[in-house]
Structure 1
């Protein structure tokens, strides 16, 4: 999945279709031929894989959600969480790369916007969050709580990356909808083991 901002830009519909296919690949890795159901009983996948279900906000008809009575087992959930976080990280990496390319081509007072100190600082913050997420995901014996922390850090970094696009980030062709989907999926599948304990750290 690639987010581009060049001479032949990928449309928002293309990005969402690629994201839906990548999400289905996460399900396939954890439950071949099926879908992973979260501990709260929700499954989110492409319309093609899930079949019936309610449309997912910002999914433009590509994703659906269905509530079922029984969650997937912990082995499937663990494998899916890891794949989902890697998808989130790749998506954010693509969004950042496109933002950097966009800013490098746009000028203010005769100089690329990318050269501004505040812009470079924001880019560095997102890049650091991506590197930290990669390293944490490589640690042995992953836990649901660790996955949830990585998700929250990627969400925060995604919001920083979105600001690099200015108002364009919130348009139909901007990356806002795609980043919203990564948040929604993480909130569905990556809830902490003890939500009340997690709330105590807010």
Structure 2
């Protein structure tokens, strides 16, 4: 069972994702479970805020820690989103480094699902506000049967993910289960973005936030375990 400290961690990370955006939520999670480290996935990819990128001197790559100065660092891009930009990077660590910390990895991977759940729930709320403000005939788009069904499907996915996560501590769920939860959130996001029409695909808009959320899962999950 998760401790109160971990419960507060996930709550803060989830809330930051819903109210502040991707960059603040990633910062919240990284500072909480990987203080002083720049988090990278198994292949060295990183999706981080400017604060984390500028304030860390060591790289954490799936449990391995090494000085950033020893890594080959590549900037892959920058995406401006609500709450601040996120930086896409890749850090290639030299062979032979060590420092594996299973507890840190377990906390990071669990927190990442909570973070993505917050982003996906906010996307659902955004879609509902948009649809409720668009009229067709004598009703709003939100009252259309197919639209209501899609929104309801998204809500069900969110409730299922939350039900699995509630009361769970780091390391209590296998990676295959966590990756299945990521897949559920990605499925919900893709369906919800379509409800926003063209507005869902604007730069910095809800669709781009959903895409970065999906990239977080792809960057930090182990490829052989991705569903």
Residue 207 (structure 2) pairs with residue 183 (structure 1): no
Runs of 4+ aligned structure 1 residues displaced above 4 Å come to 1-4
Which of 71, 75, 78 aligns to 1:54? It is 75
Query: Structure 2: 5+ residue runs without aligned partners?
Result: 1-15, 55-72
Q: 1:107 to 1:129 in 2, by over 3 A?
A: same
Q: CA–CA distance in 1 between the matches of 2:18 and 2:41?
A: 28
Q: Which residue of 2 aligns with 1:63?
A: 87
Which of 27, 38, 44 aligns to 2:47? It is 44
On the 8 A contact 1:59/1:177 being kept in 2, the answer is no
Which of the pair is proportionally richer in strand? 2
1:36 aligned counterpart, secondary structure: strand
Q: 1:109 to 1:3 in 2, by over 3 A?
A: farther
1:1-202 aligned at under 5 Å gives the runs: 1=16, 18-51=21-54, 53-56=74-77, 58-59=79-80, 61-69=85-93, 73-138=101-166, 140=168, 141-191=172-222, 194-195=224-225
On the 8 A contact 1:56/1:63 being kept in 2, the answer is yes
Q: CA–CA distance in 2 between the matches of 1:158 and 1:80?
A: 21
Q: In terms of mean alpha carbon deviation, does 58-67 or 19-28 score higher?
A: 58-67
Normalised by the length of structure 2, the TM-score is 0.72
Q: CA–CA distance in 2 between the matches of 1:93 and 1:156?
A: 13
Q: CA–CA distance in 2 between the matches of 1:163 and 1:180?
A: 13
Q: CA–CA distance in 1 between the matches of 2:152 and 2:212?
A: 23
| Number of aligned residues | 184
On the 8 A contact 2:186/2:214 being kept in 1, the answer is yes
Q: Which residue of 1 aligns with 2:9?
A: none
1:12-69 CA-partner distances (Å, limit 9, x unpaired): xxx6xx3112101111122112222322233331123123751446456532323132
Normalised by the length of structure 1, the TM-score is 0.80
Q: Which residue of 1 aligns with 2:59?
A: none
Q: CA–CA distance in 1 between the matches of 2:143 and 2:196?
A: 15
2:89 aligned counterpart, secondary structure: strand
